[in-house]
Structure 1
């Protein structure tokens, strides 16, 4: 074994342990938002000391979960092709993916979100991707609002409010009891509302 193989193996083991902890945390916190690090360690099948070495506190664990969530937002932006796809189509597809993320990561989002605004702390890369999308919408004449940061804030606020609507809300009229149908209705409502709020002339 080379001199470098040992450190590489240690790093790989540490990365696997971290992944196991974060996976377990997502599962456990979905059931009990107040779960302790010790309970998460048990669910991960790791010694409690191992978890405490990776995450010195619950706050540090939530920060790591926020980073992971931002990575998923970045993947959604990549799938949407915000820099190349027609911007209206990109906005609609991104909104669908954002609501899918909310379903899959609901517990983590609730724990890492500002309770007043409903907005999760977004990384600089995610913010840049959103701002690029709204810049392209403006350049294409799809919206009249000129400030990308303002557009982003409006968008995230409307996503939050659409998410909070009960499934039987008149605003979601015409949907079925199928969760996928309700989710699609939330995305469509958000899409139309955002374009209208930002001065869009051709909401679809």
Structure 2
């Protein structure tokens, strides 16, 4: 008969500890989205904490980067849910998703910058913002709003490249409203049709 473990369960983190942990992750995202080579000391400066506080929550850069990666996944999932990908014609759903993703400038910076720290291709399927993108594209091809002659993988590449262009324009000081309008217009022209077949 197996003996029951007598070890006490790990105590749940306090609300204060959880707020500090989240503040460190937010500071890391803010810092690394501007400078991918920033040190843990730089992140401490942004968060307004000492190194000992950071190390109580994250043993090293890799542990903090893993937490940032997880936060990026969560934000992408939130964007996908807010876009209501199952509603309306396929092209409209794609445009809504891209508009939601454009709101997460720091996350896009971590993905699109040179020597990017975050790679969505390594995310679990259940966490990826584009998990339903293929289905939305197929729906758009069926309902006549997305060009059925374009291969789905090509359409996905076009979507991510135009999202990159929109992120770059926003980063360089372009107006968010104008950038969002340019993104929608360019996507509609690149993958859309004139109306239902």
Normalization by structure 1: what TM-score? 0.68
Relative distance call for 1:34 and 1:178 in structure 2 (3 A) is closer
Judge conservation of contact 1:135–1:148 (CA < 8 Å) in 2: yes
The residue number in structure 1 matching 2:181 is 185
The residue number in structure 1 matching 2:11 is 7
- 2: CA distance between counterparts of 1:57 and 1:49? 11
The residue number in structure 2 matching 1:158 is 162
The residue number in structure 1 matching 2:112 is 113
The residue number in structure 2 matching 1:86 is 89
- 2: CA distance between counterparts of 1:145 and 1:63? 40
- 1: CA distance between counterparts of 2:110 and 2:21? 19
Relative distance call for 1:190 and 1:97 in structure 2 (3 A) is farther
Normalization by structure 2: what TM-score? 0.70
Residue ranges of structure 1 left out of the alignment (5+ in a row): 168-176
Residue ranges of structure 2 left out of the alignment (5+ in a row): 1-7
The residue number in structure 1 matching 2:65 is 62
Relative distance call for 1:76 and 1:24 in structure 2 (3 A) is same
The residue number in structure 2 matching 1:22 is 25
Relative distance call for 1:19 and 1:192 in structure 2 (3 A) is same
CA RMSD of aligned residues (A): 3.7
Judge conservation of contact 1:163–1:186 (CA < 8 Å) in 2: no
Q: Is 2:184 aligned against 1:194?
A: no
